Amino acid sequence: MEQEEQKRVVVTGLGVISPLGNDINTFWGNLIKGVSGIDRITRFDTSNFEVKIAAEVKNFDPEQYNISRKEARNLDLFSQYALAATEYASNNLEIPPGGGSGAIIGTGIGGLETTTKQQNILKEKGPNRVSPKAIPTLMPNAAPGDIAIKYSLKGPDFSVSSACASGAHAISLAYKEIKCGETNLMVTGGTEAPIVELAIATFTNMRAITKRYNDYPKKASRPFDAKRDGFVLGEGAGILILEEEQHALERNAKIYAELIGCSYNGDAYHLTAPNPSGEGAANAMLEALSKANLNPEQIDYINAHGTSTPLNDKIETLAIKKVFGEYAKKIPVSSTKSMTGHLLGAAGSLEAIISVLSINNNIIPPTINYEHPDPECDLDYVPNKAREKEVNVVMSNSFGFGGHNAVLVFRRYK
């Protein structure tokens, strides 16, 4: 048992499909330049919609990621994004196949595009015209299933659905599979493709997404800013290859960082609103620090959940101050959702990748559109411009509808 507890888990692959680019270099370059991926929706006619903006993936061609046209026709977009990001992260099929390797992928909604399309077919053309492939295409576990089939991964293989914490939860579970010696390699992360009429209408009517910036989409996502009034819906996938350290060294894999701590809990308070005390989020951060054997002062950067909603940003700020005390004012805290929008179930995994890249490049990406200070949000949010700083340890926060809290801690690999 003692030997199993000493296993170290390292990151050996990174892949993104995102509103800021579909490869790591483009994505990171746009991120540190403060580029916004938010624009007018092109997927459908928004004439009758109050919200007309989102953070769409652009120039996505599945064939560039070893997904044939025929294969793509039988895959919901959320599965296509996951497969494409895995192909990029795996360095052109260099994932070693075998019975131990597996895939755990998070998604908040799953195949929403397929769900709405087939529902329309049912209403307009009748039950006999509904595709027999609809359920296998839309089910949330299609993404890890498709990845496992493509890469012959016969170990743990399932999906995680915990709203906006899904990606971080998936990474945590994959970490534990390796940490306890069940497997040596896991494909993990999150994927989401929610930019359809139903999602935009629902989030609009529940007053979760901003309605004020249709004419100024680049200004729409403004985490921690006093004039924030809702998030901007995004889409894409973030995939990490996690590996047991010795296994990675033996195959001469590139090691990007080490994952040293994970924690998750529940608010048990409300399905959409966070606990106003910040207790759940604070406890998750404290537990992650404990499992990583770190003091609060050893965190160099916090990649915040920072959704640009009035409640979330205020309560996350409160939770950070509860955990870090006076040191909270000294830690750079930024929300990259200001540029990517909110990818729901893929948010935590995309932000985990950003955390790793921050360590690799010693650069902290900014919170753009931070223009009006909020007295209740009074930390160092790295406003509007990336910052060069030695970054050795990063905490990444993810908090989801349902009261789900998940925290990851990454460290420079030594």
Q: Which of 169, 247, 305, 404 is catalytic?
A: 305
Q: Rounded to an integer, what distance in angstroms lies between the CA atom of residue 65 and that of residue 124?
A: 34
Nearest Cα residue to 173 out of 277, 234, 102, 84: 102
How wide is the angle at C-alpha 240 spanned by C-alphas 235 and 246, nearest 5°? 175
Q: Which of 164, 169, 262, 377 is catalytic?
A: 164
- With contact defined as beta carbons under 8 Å apart, do 175 and 262 qualify? yes
Q: Which of 169, 247, 342, 404 is catalytic?
A: 342
Q: Is 247 an annotated catalytic residue?
A: no
Q: Rounded to an integer, what distance in angstroms lies between the CA atom of residue 288 and that of residue 298?
A: 13
Joined tokens for residue 307: 């959704």
Q: Is 342 an annotated catalytic residue?
A: yes
Q: Rounded to an integer, what distance in angstroms lies between the CA atom of residue 177 and that of residue 65?
A: 27
Task: Tell me the CA distances in angstroms from 178 to 150, 172, 354, one per residue in order.
Answer: 21, 10, 22
Residues designated catalytic: 164, 305, 342
